[in-house]
Structure 1
Amino acid sequence: MEKILQVKDLNISFHTFGGEVKAIRGVSFDLYKGETLAIVGESGSGKSVTTKSIMRLLPPNNSEIKSGQILFGDVDIAKASERKMQSIRGKEISMIFQDPMTSLNPTMTIGKQIMEPLLKHQKMHKSEAKKRAIELLKLVGIPNAEIRVKQYPHQFSGGMRQRVVIAIALACNPKILIADEPTTALDVTIQAQILELMKKLQSKIDTSIIFITHDLGVVANVADRVAVMYGGKIVEIGTVDEIFYNPKHPYTWGLISSMPSLDVKDEELYAIPGTPPDLLNPPKGDAFAPRNPYALKIDLEQEPPMFKVSDTHYAATWLLHPDAPKVEPPEAVKKRMYKFKGNVRPIPAEEGK
């Protein structure tokens, strides 16, 4: 498969009054043409920072890409000028943010906001751009597009606003679409509609998607591959089946165990003990060791490398070392494994109430 994006040993820091926060520590991954890569993990694990660095949207006053490469074609985004990035953002790489209301300008009509990237990047005539805006609204499932194109964001529901944001992101047929928890601000019924819409659109426009989420149920339904992040690092990466049917990292086990499921009865919902690491002073060994009930002595002293499980599956845990004791995933993980992809979607807690 053709690699459309390569992130190599990326290190990003934030300079704060308390000191240097090492937010991203040696992240590497590839994105292939036409695939959906999901990046999952708790809040603060580095998901959004990683993807915002691809768009170069990190605050310039206190963030710094310390080292590494973000290769998009023949461009290293990590070192590209702002002028170059302006020609890439919105045209080659687009982003959908969490809250559609804050992503849209309340003083501009929906039509003008969709037309903006078409006028700037595609150099379309105004009448042609308006026609394309109406086509995009129809594409994302908004009825009466000819009328709605003249309306303002406050005249749309939350789900419809998110469809508009998707239309804007897709206006220039980007090669990469970054979706930063695009369904978090929506109720679960609308979530399902938006996710289904994105799957249909991907097949139509042949774009690659990076999908950021903390909802493993979402991942099971939309992703081709999954990268699990913790403490500013990718700790496991593989196909969606490998991550859900054969997870290897104890942190991945914890995430799967903490997913509510209607099919798991009479069981207290698992919560990963402890808190994420302080990246002002990153731990010496495995960052997950203090929260890991299966931690070995070496976890506190030395950071584990990425061990190869298969050609597409890697995990950074000393439990994969040939000399490590054999540890099976906990029972809560096994109960959920067969229910993920292609069967029953694990539902968010609020949906099961």
Structure 2
Amino acid sequence: MKKLLEVKDLHISFHTFAGEVQAIRGVDFDLYEGETLAIVGESGSGKSVTTKSIMRLLPQGNSEIKSGEILFNGENLATASEKKMQKIRGKDISMIFQDPMTSLNPTMTIGKQIMEPLIKHRDLSKSEASKRAVKLLDLVGISKPETRLKQYPHQFSGGMRQRVVIAIALACAPKVLIADEPTTALDVTIQGQILDLMKDLQKKIETSIIFITHDLGVVANVADRVAVMYGGKIVEVGTVDEIFYNPQHPYTWGLISSMPSLDSQDEELFVIPGTPPDLLHPPKGDAFAPRNPYAMKIDKEEEPPMFKVSDTHYAATWLLHPDAPKVEPPLAVQERQAKFRASIKGDK
């Protein structure tokens, strides 16, 4: 597969009254044509900051891409001009934001909002853009699209608004679609419908998707590969099967173990002890060490490199060093992982 996007050694900081927050600390990943890459991790791990930097949507004034490259079509977006980015946003790279209730302009009809990128980026006339907008609404599963085109966001349910947001994002058939927790604000039934819709549309328009989420159940059903983030870094990356069936990083063990299974209502849920690191003062060594029950002396002194597990699977943990002791997750953790794996296998 051809590489579509390359993020290399990306460092991003926010300048605050308290000091410099080192939000992203050397992130590397690739996105290939036609694939879905899921980026997972707790709130504050750097998922949204990383992907918003691709579209250069970080707040001006206090955010800074300190170093690194974001290569797309041979161009480094990290240093591209705003004029250049305006041509890319919505055309080559689009984004579905988290909350459909606030993503749409309440003063504009749905039709105008879908037509806007078509007129700007595809040079379509209003008549041509209107016809295309009808087709897009039909594509995302909204009935009576001709009528709906003239309506306003408040006349749509949450699930329908998210379908409209997806229609806008896909209007120009972008090469990369970034979905920032697109189902978080929706109920479970609608979540499933939106996820099914995105998988179906990906095949039809042949786009690549970066899917940001903290819900590993979602990941299991939509992703080809998974990147696990913690403390502004990617700590493990692999195919979806490698991450779920052969996780190597203790943080990944914790994320999988903390997911409830269908028959876990009478059991105490597993939680990862402690809190994420303060990136005003990034810790020395492995950022996960204070929360890691398997941490060794070296974890507090040196940051682990990415160790190779397979050609597609890498993890940044000293437990993979040849001289490290052999460690398996506790039995209780393995049992919860097995239950969760069984539940997602049944959903596939």
Q: Under a length normalisation based on structure 1, what TM-score does the superposition of the two structures give?
A: 0.96
For residues 169-211 of structure 1, give each alpha carbon's deviation from its aligned partner in whole angstroms, at most 9, with x where no partner exists: 0000000000000000000010000000000000111000000
Q: Which amino acid aligns with 1:303?
A: E
CA contact (8 A) 1:221 1:342 kept: no
Distance 1:143 1:158, change over 3 A: same
Number of positions where the alignment pairs a residue of Structure 1 with one of Structure 2: 345
Q: What residue number does 1:255 align with?
A: 255
Alignment of 1:1-353 (within 5 A): 1-264=1-264, 266-335=266-335, 336-337=337-338, 338-339=341-342, 341-344=344-347
For residues 295-328 of structure 1, give each alpha carbon's deviation from its aligned partner in whole angstroms, at most 9, with x where no partner exists: 0110000000000000000000000000000001
Q: What residue number does 1:350 align with?
A: none
Give the whole-Å Cα distance in 1 for the aligned partners of 2:113 and 2:98: 18
Give the whole-Å Cα distance in 2 for the aligned partners of 1:75 and 1:103: 29
Give the whole-Å Cα distance in 2 for the aligned partners of 1:267 and 1:295: 27
Q: Which amino acid aligns with 1:167?
A: A
Per-residue deviation at 1:343?
2.1
* Cα-Cα RMSD: 1.1
Give the whole-Å Cα distance in 2 for the aligned partners of 1:321 and 1:31: 28
SS of residue paired to 1:137? helix
Per-residue deviation at 1:332?
4.1
Give the whole-Å Cα distance in 1 for the aligned partners of 2:83 and 2:40: 31
Give the whole-Å Cα distance in 1 for the aligned partners of 2:31 and 2:272: 29
Q: Under a length normalisation based on structure 2, what TM-score does the superposition of the two structures give?
A: 0.97
Per-residue deviation at 1:113?
0.1
SS of residue paired to 1:136? helix
Give the whole-Å Cα distance in 1 for the aligned partners of 2:186 and 2:197: 14
SS of residue paired to 1:64? strand
CA contact (8 A) 2:262 2:343 kept: no
Q: Which amino acid aligns with 2:71?
A: L
CA contact (8 A) 1:220 1:340 kept: no
Give the whole-Å Cα distance in 1 for the aligned partners of 2:86 and 2:265: 52
Per-residue deviation at 1:265?
6.8
Q: Which amino acid aligns with 1:114?
A: I
Give the whole-Å Cα distance in 2 for the aligned partners of 1:129 and 1:340: 44
Give the whole-Å Cα distance in 1 for the aligned partners of 2:153 and 2:30: 36
Q: Which amino acid aligns with 2:62?
A: N
Give the whole-Å Cα distance in 2 for the aligned partners of 1:44 and 1:283: 15
For residues 14-58 of structure 1, give each alpha carbon's deviation from its aligned partner in whole angstroms, at most 9, with x where no partner exists: 000000000000000000000000000000000000000000000
Per-residue deviation at 1:132?
0.3
For residues 94-151 of structure 1, give each alpha carbon's deviation from its aligned partner in whole angstroms, at most 9, with x where no partner exists: 0000111211000000000000000000000110000000000000000011100100
Distance 1:135 1:333, change over 3 A: farther
Give the whole-Å Cα distance in 2 for the aligned partners of 1:344 and 1:257: 18
Give the whole-Å Cα distance in 2 for the aligned partners of 1:332 and 1:256: 12
CA contact (8 A) 1:176 1:210 kept: yes
CA contact (8 A) 2:106 2:152 kept: yes
User: Can you give the 5+ residue segments of structure 1 that lack an aligned partner in the other structure?
Assistant: 346-353
SS of residue paired to 2:13? strand
Identity across the alignment (%):
81
CA contact (8 A) 2:114 2:133 kept: yes
User: Can you give the 5+ residue segments of structure 2 that lack an aligned partner in the other structure?
Assistant: none
Give the whole-Å Cα distance in 2 for the aligned partners of 1:198 and 1:102: 20
